[in-house]
Amino acid sequence: MLETFDFPWVRFLGMHITHIADGTCTAVLDPQDVHLNHNETVNGPVLFGAAEYAAGAAVTGGMMDLLHNAYVVAKTAQIDFLAPARGPVTCAATVDAEAFTQARSKVEQQQPVELTAHVTATDSQGRQVATVRLIFAVRPKRQA
């Protein structure tokens, strides 16, 4: 299943998933020079991209078998940058378990649903560097 989450943006980021289950995902960004800003810390858009990747995997990871008839897209996002990120960044994403179960049921019935994912990003020194809240829309694919 992890190969499902491997595409060019992810390869650019250098992300890898260390844990995935229904409504949870932990992914690690190993930043390269291209990911750093003038202060030699992880650039904000890169940090957000890493968090969005982990959140999207948390939302979709437990319903991959249903997504041939649905699509998932980020609808809303809010990020709070808390500290400069140095070294590898771990993004831990979670979706409320009950909300995830209910969403999976709706997707099975081809009904639209939205899910909120919360991400905590910590750097190599264990500092919390960002929190992110994303709302994902899961919609039935339109018939051609």
For 16-25, write each residue's pLDDT tens digit. Answer: 999 999 999 9
pLDDT band at 67 (very low <50, low <70, confident <90, very high): confident
Task: Give the CA angle between residues 23, 52, 114 to the nearest 5°.
Answer: 55
Q: Give φ, ψ of 19 to 5 degrees.
A: -155, 140
In whole angstroms, give the CA distance from residue 102 to residue 113.
9
3-class DSSP state of 57: helix
Number of H-type helices and E-type strands within the chain: 3, 6
Q: List pLDDT tens digits, range 96-119.
A: 999 999 999 999 999 999 999 999
pTM for the structure as a whole: 0.92
Q: Are 106 and 115 in contact (CB under 8 A)?
A: no
